Structure 1
């Protein structure tokens, strides 16, 4: 466990020692230590603060954007994927109190655990300070994502986005071929997304859902980047049958 002083320095906020420890206590650790309190209540609080802060910023900064687009952008930046990315950039995983089982399966790198802990830290910031301090933390963390048009373009529901894109080009039906490997406690899944019988994207994750989302994101990026090359409804990128690239580590 690294020094929490460094963590607070990275976050740029004050959180009292007891509240900070609670924010970093995963349920797996709590279970193995006599059922002590977990960070789930702080996570619940932080989730609400995060959602409001992002919604407020989007509403004020985009006066002409319709409700549907505002909702898609909010979904993109408050998603597990986005929060986990922020958590990794801050090195949050090194500070989380995890049970032995989660340690053995690299729980400190799991997107769900990192995202939940980020929300708990937002909640802890509010408890130790006030709503404005928590809001400022959210904007420091999320602000760069709000300005990233590429990240917001398809939102984070990549499966819906690729379905809409494939339907618009009449590429054919979508099918996810998913295979799992490894022991039950450390299962890994690999998904290949096929559209009209052609492989377009590949992804991996600790669950089928995560692997499918990664495969959909991979396919969406490829098809979006190849849009200028598509000349007809039944056309596909020239490299559509090539082995798709592996998803970025930790994505």
Structure 2
């Protein structure tokens, strides 16, 4: 016998929106495996919700960081709407028990699937938008994503980009990167890269790829010079 799903009222309370048309929420929770066809699954709502989420987060960032340039705003936007963040929000809402999947246990691990939870998060935003309009959707997004806006999980800039901007701010040319040596077996090489900035001592970085070693070298340089990596 299939486990009884928790009442949708609990999910509505977690999301922060009471649906007038609860069928929208039901569709947002329905995987294509549990729907009669793709039109009855969350996919169309995900398409809409993705755009609504992006717009609301972009506006939120625009108002919260008035001194930020376009590049920083874009990086903050990408951090907030990425799959992993949407998955965190879906789990905070306790979405997994409410998912509507194919009967018979065909997808035993689907309830914790990162891509599925991220998609359903966006679908719920789309459902709220259709049910309550932009204001309702914006309120849900602000409540769920606002606290994460000030605490990004990843550096907003990679070390190489930060080092290049650091050099340009001082009127210096682009940093250079030079392969020093490659060690280790062919199936697990270790690359050693030197980064050079005009007028400064080089810094050495290591990594399993040239790109990783360059990032490490740039990060080592920034740490030595006391530059902000984010």
Q: Structure 2 length normalisation: TM-score?
A: 0.67
CA contact (8 A) 2:101 2:107 kept: no
Question: For residues 192-231 of structure 1, what are the structure 2 equivalents within 5 Å?
Answer: 196=191, 227=220
Question: Does 2:60 correspond to 1:79?
Answer: no
- C-alpha displacement at 1:172, in angstroms? 5.4
Question: For residues 23-34 of structure 1, what are the structure 2 equivalents within 5 Å?
Answer: 23-30=28-35, 33=36
Supply the distance in 1 between the matched residues of 2:105 and 2:208 (Cα, whole angstroms).
33
Shift in CA distance, 73/93, structure 1 to aligned 2, threshold 3 Å: same
Aligned mate of 2:101, from 93, 98, 113: 98
1:13 aligned partner: 17
Supply the distance in 2 between the matched residues of 1:149 and 1:35 (Cα, whole angstroms).
34
The 3-state SS of whatever aligns with 2:135 is helix
CA contact (8 A) 1:80 1:111 kept: yes
Q: Which shifted more, 81-90 or 33-42?
A: 33-42
2:67 aligned partner: 64
1:237 aligned partner: none
- C-alpha displacement at 1:139, in angstroms? 0.4
Shift in CA distance, 194/92, structure 1 to aligned 2, threshold 3 Å: farther
- C-alpha displacement at 1:165, in angstroms? 7.5
Which structure has the greater CA radius of gyration?
2
Supply the distance in 2 between the matched residues of 1:78 and 1:4 (Cα, whole angstroms).
25
2:54 aligned partner: 51
Query: Which runs of no fewer than 5 residues in structure 1 stay unpaired?
Result: 155-160, 174-192, 202-215, 233-251
Q: Deviations over 1:104-137 (max 9, x none)?
A: 3511111111111011111111111121011010
CA contact (8 A) 1:14 1:128 kept: no
Q: Structure 1 length normalisation: TM-score?
A: 0.62
Shift in CA distance, 58/194, structure 1 to aligned 2, threshold 3 Å: farther
Q: Which shifted more, 130-139 or 94-103?
A: 94-103
Query: Which runs of no fewer than 5 residues in structure 2 stay unpaired?
Result: 165-174, 181-187, 193-205, 226-230
Aligned residues: 188
Supply the distance in 1 between the matched residues of 2:97 and 2:26 (Cα, whole angstroms).
13
Q: Deviations over 1:155-195 (max 9, x none)?
A: xxxxxx3675899695859xxxxxxxxxxxxxxxxxxx976
- C-alpha displacement at 1:8, in angstroms? 0.7
